[in-house]
A and B are shown apart, each in its own frame.
Chain A
Amino acid sequence: MQKFMPAIMITIGAICVSLWLFGMFVTAAGAGAFEVFYTIYRAAFGSWFSWQNTLVRAAPLMLTALCTALPARMGLIVIGGEGAMVAGGVMAAITGIALNGMAPMIVISAMLITSAIAGGMWIAAVGALKYYRGVNETISSLLLNYIAIAIMSFLVIGVLRDPETLNKPSSSHIGEANMIGAIGESSIHWGLGIGLIVCLILWFVMRRTTFGFAADMAGGNLRAAQISGLNVGSMLLLVCFAGGAAAGIAGMIEIAAVHGRLNVSLNSGYGYAGILVAFLARHNPVAIIPVAILLGGIQASSGLLQRSHDLPDATALVLQGIIFVVILASETLYGKPILAWFRSARTYQLTSSERLN
């Protein structure tokens, strides 16, 4: 556990600095900093109602964060979570509509599988382009986001459109019976459970298996990995597939637990927020869970911030941007003498930024 202390301390310190900067920003914009913080807390974690709201948002964030976090362990910066999520959502909707009428258990399982494959292939393509053609994965994954959204809009306006949806073109409903229900009496759907399970499984694979070790090794030193006989190419494709599959499942959850139909609501920015979650969690699948809840809370507070402080809805985005910038700046502190009192600071050498280089 001591190994993680510097990482946790630096992350918490960076979040404090971000909040301070954000406080100055909202003060300059004419709102009281402490009132704004209290509003965020109240809207995110202040009551059972807000907790439910936060957790519902945290579920897709966990999954889209994996789309950045897993390839990052092999040194790729993939920002295609939004596209993989849309690809997964499109396949989930098509599967759900096609199989509507069969036993819900079969339909839901089929939606899970097809969405995971669609999202996985989407990001595996990014990995393949990187490996075989040397195409920059950051740019190609971002371009694929726009392409996925264009394909979705094309399908929703065209062949998949339910003629009864006039104002907001949507596909047909996947069927009430096929919706993922809520957990117990709460309004939290089982998507949260899926998110937690996927995070834990992928943590186990990446941290406790030979495969995960090999992936870390290839991320740390590609040449060394190749010389020791690892098949870096297929590992890269698998890791990208796994990350994309997680984001694809996020799309399926949004369709099967929230919207019921395919429409532009699927393209809601969870993919982009997931990038921040992954970096905040230092690409550790378990750390993604609390960070996704924190970010889910910030997103959940957006509405109340608008209403009670008359701040624009982009306020939450500004806060996320500040946290992201400060977190990256804090990377430079790892191994610096400021942390000398943490003896372990010096042993924690292989930071993710080095891997990414």
Chain B
Amino acid sequence: MSHEIEIMSVIIAVLGGAIRVGTPFLFVSLGECLTEKSGRINLGLEANLIMGAMTGYGVAYMSDSAWLGVLAAGASGVALGLIHALLCQQDKVNDIAVGIALMILGTGLAFFLGKPFIQPQAPGLPAVELGGWSDSPVVRAALEINMLFIIGLVLAPVMAWFFKYSKWGLIVRTVGESRDAALSMGINVNQVRLYSTMFGGFLAGVGGSFLSLYYPGSWNEGLSSGQGLMAVALVIFARWNPMYCLYASLLFGGAAALGPALQSVGVTSGYYLFNAAPYILTLLIMIISSSSHRRLAGLPGELEGTRK
């Protein structure tokens, strides 16, 4: 009997974790989705995530307002996106390489500037309790939904609508589909990509603030371990569709929550291997969803050379 309860609590913890761990994935993947739709890959979103986590925590601590921290985190993401976009619009500059460089620079800056914030306690983000009906503390913990997740939940369909029906969405898609077609329509390609990368960076920065202000909920140097990059892989899996980004983020969040959930019921032997689950899952998904023969559905045409 107690065995069954343990299995149930692992399942509930994984479902709750899907939301809790999946939220940063959701913001980063929506940001990357927008950037890639405009025809550029920003691998540096890992840096946005870490910088966002540091900036968000630092500003929330100093101003005593978690939401101000979230905004500041977004602003730091805009700054990194701006650097990426400005560098990439020079000819011969490779966007993937710039992403790797920004990853190193952003991580270094976040660790450098974040040193004083490792100790103090900043105010956290509010959560909505949806588990009041249950007596089980496990269920209640799992159903504590953070406001940022709800914002992300709204943002995904809004972005899908934006791409499909709005004039600006059409412009972004045109630029991503064919630079030449966009130029012939008189669209300033570099400017569209600049704004797409900056807003994508904003979202990734906000995703970072979730890490430090809600879950795990403090700033330290081991906060992000490749989530930013996994989110980039997730966009391929989601076929550049914001709604699929939402589903994929939840799947990844669940996979990442598996290790800690098992540890909490005493399964510790394969802890490190379970911790590798999201990476292995990402890799498997990439192997299954890629193809060297056909063009992927939804792939922006301008990315074809880099990711066929």
Segment among A34-42, A133-141, A198-206, A286-294 that sits at the interface with chain B: A133-141
Contact string against B for A residues 325-338, beta-carbon threshold 8 Å, 1 for contact and 0 otherwise: 10111011010000
Residues of B within 8 A of A158 (CB): 269
Residue of B nearest to A146 (CB): B279
B92 touches A354 (CB 8 A): yes
B158 at the interface (CB under 8 A from A): no
A77 touches B280 (CB 8 A): no
A324 touches B112 (CB 8 A): no
Q: Which of B60-106 contact A (CB under 8 A)?
A: 83, 87, 90-94, 96-98, 100-102, 104-106
B105 touches A325 (CB 8 A): yes
Shortest distance between the CB of A44 and any CB in chain B (Å): 18
A to B contact number (C-beta, < 8 Å): 161
Shortest distance between the CB of A126 and any CB in chain B (Å): 10
A contact residues, total (Cβ < 8 Å)? 54
B290 touches A356 (CB 8 A): no
A318 touches B109 (CB 8 A): yes
Q: Which of A310-351 contact B (CB under 8 A)?
A: 311-322, 324-325, 327-329, 331-332, 334, 351
Quick one: given A146-B279, A332-B92, are A312 and B115 in contact (CB under 8 Å)? yes
Contact string against B for A residues 116-138, beta-carbon threshold 8 Å, 1 for contact and 0 otherwise: 00000000000001011111101
B276 touches A139 (CB 8 A): no
Residues of A within 8 A of B189 (CB): none
Quick one: given A135-B286, A317-B111, are A357 and B94 in contact (CB under 8 Å)? yes
Shortest distance between the CB of A163 and any CB in chain B (Å): 16
B290 touches A142 (CB 8 A): no
B225 touches A329 (CB 8 A): no
Per DSSP, are chain A's interface residues mostly helix, strand or loop, or mixed?
helix
Shortest distance between the CB of B117 and any CB in chain A (Å): 12
Quick one: given A135-B286, A146-B225, are A332 and B91 in contact (CB under 8 Å)? yes
A153 at the interface (CB under 8 A from B): yes
A93 at the interface (CB under 8 A from B): no
A323 to B209, CA, bound (A): 27
A102 at the interface (CB under 8 A from B): no
A134 touches B290 (CB 8 A): yes
Residues of A within 8 A of B91 (CB): 332
B287 touches A133 (CB 8 A): yes
Contact partner, A328, options B94, B108, B232, B283, Cβ 8 Å:
B94
A147 at the interface (CB under 8 A from B): yes
A317 touches B107 (CB 8 A): yes
Contact partner, A77, options B100, B115, B225, B293, Cβ 8 Å:
B100
Shortest distance between the CB of A24 and any CB in chain B (Å): 13
B105 touches A324 (CB 8 A): yes
A321 touches B109 (CB 8 A): yes
Shortest distance between the CB of B201 and any CB in chain A (Å): 15
B104 touches A317 (CB 8 A): yes
B186 at the interface (CB under 8 A from A): no
Contact partner, A317, options B108, B271, B282, Cβ 8 Å:
B108
Q: Which of A208-247 contact B (CB under 8 A)?
A: none
B133 at the interface (CB under 8 A from A): no
Residue of A nearest to B229 (CB): A142
Residues of A within 8 A of B286 (CB): 129, 135-136, 139-140, 143
Contact partner, B43, options A138, A353, A356, Cβ 8 Å:
A138
A321 touches B43 (CB 8 A): no
B136 at the interface (CB under 8 A from A): no
Residue of B nearest to A153 (CB): B272
Q: Which of A147-170 contact B (CB under 8 A)?
A: 147, 150-151, 153-154, 157-158
Residues of A within 8 A of B273 (CB): 150-151, 154
Shortest distance between the CB of B62 and any CB in chain A (Å): 17
Contact partner, A312, options B96, B106, B112, B282, Cβ 8 Å:
B112
A357 to B290, CA, bound (A): 19
A147 touches B108 (CB 8 A): no
Shortest distance between the CB of B167 and any CB in chain A (Å): 31
A107 at the interface (CB under 8 A from B): no
Residues of A within 8 A of B92 (CB): 331-332, 334, 351, 353-354
Residues of B within 8 A of A329 (CB): 87, 90, 93
A144 at the interface (CB under 8 A from B): yes
B104 touches A324 (CB 8 A): yes
A190 at the interface (CB under 8 A from B): no
A275 at the interface (CB under 8 A from B): yes
B96 touches A138 (CB 8 A): yes
A79 at the interface (CB under 8 A from B): yes
Residue of A nearest to B270 (CB): A154
Shortest distance between the CB of A265 and any CB in chain B (Å): 16
Shortest distance between the CB of B54 and any CB in chain A (Å): 11
Residues of A within 8 A of B102 (CB): 321, 325
Residues of B within 8 A of A319 (CB): 108
B292 touches A146 (CB 8 A): no
Quick one: given A136-B290, A143-B283, A146-B279, are A324 and B226 in contact (CB under 8 Å)? no
Per CB-CB distance, the 8 closest pairs between chain A and chain B, nearest first, are A321-B105, A317-B108, A314-B111, A150-B276, A134-B292, A324-B101, A318-B108, A332-B90
Cβ contacts A to B, 14 pairs, < 8 Å: A139-B233, A146-B276, A154-B272, A154-B273, A276-B101, A314-B115, A317-B111, A318-B109, A321-B101, A327-B101, A328-B94, A328-B101, A332-B90, A353-B93
Q: Which residues of A contact B (CB under 8 A)?
A: 29, 77, 79, 129, 131-136, 138-140, 142-147, 150-151, 153-154, 157-158, 272, 275-276, 279, 311-322, 324-325, 327-329, 331-332, 334, 351, 353-354, 356-357
A146-B226, A315-B108, A321-B101 are known contacts; what are 18 more A-B pairs with Cβ within 8 Å? A135-B286, A143-B229, A147-B276, A147-B279, A150-B276, A154-B272, A279-B101, A312-B115, A314-B112, A318-B108, A320-B104, A321-B102, A321-B109, A331-B92, A332-B92, A334-B92, A356-B94, A357-B306
